[in-house]
Amino acid sequence: MLPVKVWIREVGPRDGLQMEKKFIPTERKVSLIGSLVEAGLKKIEVTSFVNPKAVAQLKDAEEVVRLLKANDQVEFSALVLNKRGMERAVASGIPEVVLVVSATETHSLRNGGRSISQVLQEMSRMARLGAKEGIRLRGAVAVAFGCPFEGEVPVAALERVVGAMSESGSRQITLADTAGLASPVQVRRVLQFFRDQYRDIAWGLHFHDTRGLALVNVYAGLEEGVTLFESSVGGLGGCPFIPNAAGNVATEDLVNMLAMLGLETGVDLEKLVKIAGELESLLGRTLPSRLLRLSEQAGCV
C-alpha cells in the first residue's frame, strides 16, 4: 500500500548550488526558482542563512529572498543552523525556516562549528522567535542514516535530536541521508520506530545518491507511508563538509518514478528536464540526472 498523494520539496537552489565554486549571479538563482515554480513545484528550499565564509555561494541569501516573486501557492523556505541564522532569516521575511541539527558530534562541529547540545539549547529560543514573527519552523536531522566520520548512527542519537525538535514545536521533521549511506531496510526500520513513537510528526525524507540507492530508499519510505521527499533538479549537489558525497536524487528522476507508480505530484516533467538541461549549460558539466540523458537521446531537450 502506497500513499495516494506525495509532495516534493525541491532543494536544488540550496543543497544543490551550495557546492558550486563559481558564484552564480543572484538574478540567475532567482530565475531558477521561478522556473521551478512554473514547473509545478509547491515547496522550494531557496537558500541558507549560514556563515558566508563557509558557504560563499549562498552569501546572497537576503537578496534571493527579497527578489522572490510572492506566490501563495508555493512554500518557500530557507535553512539555518543557529540563532544568528534564524535572526537573519526572520529579518529577510522568508515565511518558513528549517533548522538543521546533525545526529553526530563530528558532523555537527564540521557543518556548523558547534556541538549538538549547543544547537539544541538554542532551539527552543529560536522556535519562540519564529512563532512570534509568524514563521513556520520545521526540523531536519543531518547524517540521520550514517555519518562519514562516525559511521553508524544509533537510533538513540537520532531520537535525542528528534525528541528535542518535537518538544520545541516542530511538527515536520526531515530525516536526511546527507552522505548517501542509507539502505532501504534501515529506512524502513527507522521510520517504523519513529512513526510509532511520534505520531503527530509529518516525516520527510532526503536522500543523496552516493551509492545509487536514493530511489530505492524513497520507495522504502513510501511503503512506510512517508509523503514528502526532497530532491534537486538535475541531481545537483553534495555537501561541502562531507568528502565524496554525491548530489541529491534528481527531482525529474523522482517525479518520473512516482508517476510510474501512479502517484501524482503536479510537477511538469518536460519543464523540469528543460531546467536541468539549462543548468548543465550554466555549470558547464554533466549532471547525474538519468532522465536528462534519456531526453537527449529522444531529441526533445
Q: Which residues bind Zn ion (CB under 5 A)?
A: 15
Burial 72-107 (b: 16+ CB within 10 A, else e): eebbbbbbbbbbebbebbbebebbbbbbbbbbbbeb
Report which residue type is found at 61: A
Question: Nearer to Zn ion by C-beta: 15 or 253?
Answer: 15
DSSP 284: T
CA distance 48 to 52: 9
**Nearest distance, CB of residue 278 and Zn ion, angstroms:** 22
- Dist. CA 155–CA 189, nearest whole Å: 10
∠ CA 48-53-57, nearest 5°, is 50
Q: How far apart (Å, rounded) are the C-alpha atoms in residues 131 and 99?
A: 14
Helices and strands of the chain, counted as H and E runs: 11, 8
Least separation in angstroms between residue 120's CB and Zn ion is 20
User: In sequence order, which residues have a C-beta less than 8 Å from that of residue 146 and are 6 or more positions away?
Assistant: 152, 153, 177, 179, 181, 182
Asked whether 249 and 9 are in contact (CB, 8 A), the reply is no
Between CA 64 and CA 93 the distance in angstroms is 11
In the residue annotation, 239 being an active-site residue is answered as yes
CB 275 within 8 A of CB 223: no
Closer residue to Zn ion in complex, CB, 289/295:
289
b/e sequence 165-186, b meaning 16+ C-beta within 10 Å: bbebebebbbbbbbbbbbbbeb
Question: Which one of 135, 228, 239, 275 is the catalytic residue?
Answer: 239
> Given the complex with Zn ion, which of 76 and 207 has the nearer CB atom?
207
Which active-site residues does the annotation give? 239
